[in-house]
Structure 1
Amino acid sequence: MLHLPSLIDATELREIAGLLASAPWTDGRASAGEQAAQAKNNEQLAPDSEAARAAQAIVLRALERSPQFLAAALPKKLFPPRFNRYSGARNQYGAHVDNAVRFTENGVRVRTDLSCTLFLSNPDGYEGGELVIHEGSHTRSAKFAAGDAVLYAGTTVHEVMPVTRGERLASFFWIESMVRSDEQRHLLHDFDMALMGLRETHGDSAGTIALTGTYHNLLRMWADT
């Protein structure tokens, strides 16, 4: 699980909030698989609405300019961002596993190597609503500031706890990575972060240039473009 702070800024948050304020919300179960639909109880923005398309564009621009997202996900294909709302009687999403393959509106297949949740509500504006990710016998939870995102493996069992007060708005989407293996992707991310630290401390040197070459040779070996 990787925390991506300030993926979108305050201006973008206000733009999205304005778009969602008068947007057409529908039953969230419409987009869920058979098992997930039994656990899902939220609302979802109609994906073909003008509000959804405008908000999608804002999120996509933010992803393109985020070095941390690009380094961690190594995206090959992206399922277009969608938006959900938890409040009132429609306030939770029980434990489930996402479908292995999602189909975009254009029929493009996206393998769900990674899932991403972008928080659009400040955590003090609602109670509950934690994203809980089950990793074997361990669990991790996320309830981050508005504008922050969390990236996690699409293979995990996860859930959104009941929202008992207020309203939780979020964007969610899936990524098919150029590097399918979680282990290889983690190694590349750790390598990249360590290399960036070395370059910031010591600048470019024969050693950092050689390590950069090693990183790209590993990516070349493992990537499917």
Structure 2
Amino acid sequence: MILLMDGVLALEELDSLKGLLERVVPVDGKTTAGWYAKSVKNNLQLDRDAPETQEAQEFVSQAFARNALFQAAVNPKKIHTILFSRYDRGMSYGTHVDNAFMGKEAFWRADVSFTLFLSPPDSYEGGELVIEEGDGERSYKLEAGSAIVYPSSSLHRVETVTAGTRWAAVGWVQSLLRDPRDRELLFDLDTVRRSIFAKEGKTLEFDLISKTYSNLLRRWAE
């Protein structure tokens, strides 16, 4: 399931985050790429050990933690990795799949990936995120502060930036639910029960769906 989320960060939050990013000297993005992805990765990233980067990571993590749509769709166990990527003119990231496990001290599974767009789409040319699906490819270039969430198992790429600079925060999540089909089923159930509650309150139908939702989550969660 691919999910588009508007307004993960408000304008004032974007300004605060950009202020942090501008205080860190970027490094070669290949330092965080897998052994084969290094050959197709051409971008810059913030040093993960810089205090400003760690503050920015916490800033983004909190934004997703309070986002109800993200929580319902992903059922996150842990947002374990967040990188800040910069693409200048001529930079791109060729087709790749994200590593199955990430983390410095503990290995966390990468079930769900997200890209949080930080640059206005009219401030750069090219730089679309392209995700391959069973019926073809789709490209995405969202407003600053908006995000796309997608399975980490997907082949994807970032097209060459031909003008301007593209900033984005990219992150990975280990979900309570390993199987993306289970995540989608529970998300659909949760959407329906919330709709029933908003229209009719706590009805018998709401209670039955809530029971099914909770019992499936209890059965599938890790």
TM superposition score category, shorter chain reference: over 0.9
Aligned ranges for residues 34-53 of structure 1 at < 5 Å? 34-53=35-54
1:156-201 deviations in Å (ceiling 9; x for gaps):
1000001101110000111111100011111111111121111111
Name the structure 2 match of 1:189: 187
2:31 equivalent to 1:30 = yes
What is the aligned residue count? Answer: 221
- What pairs with 1:165-204 in structure 2 (closer than 5 Å)? 165-204=163-202
Structure 1, unaligned stretches of length 5 or more? none
What's 1:19 paired with?
20
- For the pair 1:116 / 2:114, whether they are aligned, the reply is yes
Secondary structure at the aligned position of 1:208 is classed as helix
Aligned equivalents of 1:223 and 1:187: distance in 2?
Answer: 13
Partner secondary structure for residue 34 of structure 1: coil
Percent of residue pairs bearing the same amino acid type: 40
- Structure 1 counterpart of 2:214: 216
Q: CA deviation at 1:57?
A: 1.5
1:58 alignment counterpart: 59
Partner of 1:154: 152
- 1:79 CA drift (Å): 1.8
| CA offsets 1:14-62 (integer angstroms, 9 cap, x no match) | 0111111231100000100011111100000000012201111111111
User: C-alpha root-mean-square deviation of aligned residues, in Å?
Assistant: 1.0
Q: Distance in 2 between matches of 1:151 and 1:12?
A: 20
Structure 1 contact 120–168 (Cα < 8 Å) conserved: yes
SS across alignment from 1:81 = strand
TM-superposed deviation, 1:137: 4.0
Amino acid of the structure 2 residue aligned with 1:94: G
Question: Could you list the runs of 4 or more consecutive aligned residues of structure 1 that deviate by over 4 angstroms after TM superposition?
Answer: none
Partner of 1:99: 99
Contact 1:24 1:49 in 2 (8 A): no
Q: With structure 1 as the length reference, what TM-score do the two structures score? A: 0.95
1:136 shift after superposition: 2.7
How far apart are the structure 1 equivalents of 2:175 and 2:132?
Answer: 21
Displacement of 1:77 after TM fit? 2.0
- Secondary structure of the structure 2 residue equivalent to 1:80: strand
TM-score by length of 2: 0.97
